[in-house]
Amino acid sequence: MPVAFVTGINGQDGSYLAELLLKKGYKVVGMVRRSSTMNYERIEHLMDQITIVQGDLHDQGSLLGLLEEHRPSEIYNLAAQSFVPTSWNQPALTGDITALGVTRMLEAIRFIDPKIRFYQASSSEMFGKVLEVPQSENTPFYPRSPYGVAKVYGHWITINYRESFNLFAASGILFNHESPRRGLEFVTRKISDAVARIKLELAKELRLGNLEAQRDWGFAGDYVEAMWLMLQQAEPDNYVIGTGESHSVREFCEIAFAHVGLDYKQYVVQDERFYRPAEVDLLISDPSLAKKKLGWNLKVDFKQLVTMMVDADMKRLRVKK
């Protein structure tokens, strides 16, 4: 039974990836950091099938010890401080986890077993103030947040260890991907949650920042498949994963509210507090390499994604109400 080691297993992507790896017959070892409360909501349904271990990307010793003990053949490094606004308030912590944490994991691989295949969760946020439209593996980076800067480091250290030490280290440059398991502070989930609250008369308005920002939004369940495919290739590489379509926050609101028979204009209030010191205005991917080389394809389109998220929040909040 191949062993896969997943950091950030209790995050959005970790939960979908764990489901996929279990279906493919892996033993799944998931790393979580120590907390005074359990934070396993997204993986509750998998707890009897996966092995949960404690470790932290801040702590080199914990990574070395865990790899020595569990001897994985594949590592998916999904853990990060992943919320962009927090990266301006906690820039050094973001760099320590999201950038240097990658080096710590690569060092652990180098010392314990250089044959381990490594996936790094890189991000379209690295393209920032985009220098080319659409963005591909060859588009130069121009990050616009401490998070984006940290991800550029993580991407390049992955390539550097591939070239310096011949590690099988792949970097997936994933565009925004969402789901009913998305954290509540990210804009899509903030919208789907608010739509359900307003419809169920639990809230009266939704306060948002920049409605004109455009993102290439896909479904997280489709994207974890691409992560796995990257580690099954003969050679490691970098791959852009996205839908090739872009939509504004405003469009997301329009479809989400309309799905429950409401007009977003009556409920959405723009609020300065949610604007960013530097914005990423437009992201749109060119995923042709992944389609050609990995044979990767989407199953869920934009409208299906929005309605799936609203339906899930309606269901959850109806029960709560």
* Site for ligand NAP, rule CB under 6 A: 7-8, 10-14, 33, 35, 39, 56-58, 78-82, 97, 121, 123, 174, 176-177, 183
CB of 208 to ligand NAP, least distance (A): 18
Q: How is the chain split among helix, strand and coil, in percent rounded to 5?
A: 45, 15, 35
**CB 289, min distance to ligand NAP, A:** 17
Give the dihedral sign, CA 73/98/111/68: negative
CB of 8 to ligand NAP, least distance (A): 3
**Helix H or strand E segment including 18:** helix 12-23
Residues 6+ apart with CB under 8 A from 301: 243
What type of residue sits at position 207? R
One-character DSSP codes across 134-177:
SB-TTSPP---SHHHHHHHHHHHHHHHHHHHH--EEEEEEEPPE
Is 72 or 180 the residue whose CB approaches ligand GDD more closely? 180
13 or 168: whose CB is closer to ligand GDD? Answer: 13
Closer residue to ligand GDD in complex, CB, 27/250: 250
Please say whether the beta carbons of 28 and 49 come within 8 A. Answer: yes
209 near ligand GDD (CB under 6 A): yes
Q: In the annotation, is 36 catalytic?
A: no
Residue 135 interacts with ligand GDD (CB under 6 A): yes or no: no
Backbone angles phi, psi at 206, to 5 degrees: -130, 120
Q: Which does 185 bind (CB under 5 to 8 A by kind): ligand GDD, ligand NAP, none?
A: ligand GDD
| Binding of residue 254 to ligand GDD (CB under 6 A) | no
Residue number with the smallest Cβ distance to ligand NAP: 11
**Max CA pair span of the chain:** 58
Q: How far is the CB of 196 from ligand NAP (least distance, A)?
A: 20
123: annotated active-site residue: yes
Total residues at interface with ligand GDD (CB under 6 A): 23
- Answer yes or no: 171 catalytic: no
Cα(55)–Cα(30) distance, integer angstroms: 10
Residue 174, φ and ψ in degrees, nearest 5? -90, 135
Report what 213 binds from ligand GDD, ligand NAP, none; CB cut-off 5-8 Å by kind.
ligand GDD
Q: 259 with 198: CB under 8 angstroms?
A: no
Q: Closer to ligand NAP at the Cβ: 172 or 236?
A: 172
Question: Under rule CB under 6 A, which residues in 255-284 are in contact with ligand GDD?
Answer: 274, 276, 279-280, 283
The three-state secondary structure class of 266 is helix
- Contact between 282 and 133 (Cβ < 8 Å): yes
Smallest gap, in angstroms, from Cβ of residue 16 to ligand NAP? 8
Q: Which residues bind ligand GDD (CB under 6 A)?
A: 82, 84, 123-125, 175-176, 185-188, 190, 208-210, 213, 215, 249, 274, 276, 279-280, 283
The residues annotated with a catalytic role in the active site are: 123, 125, 147
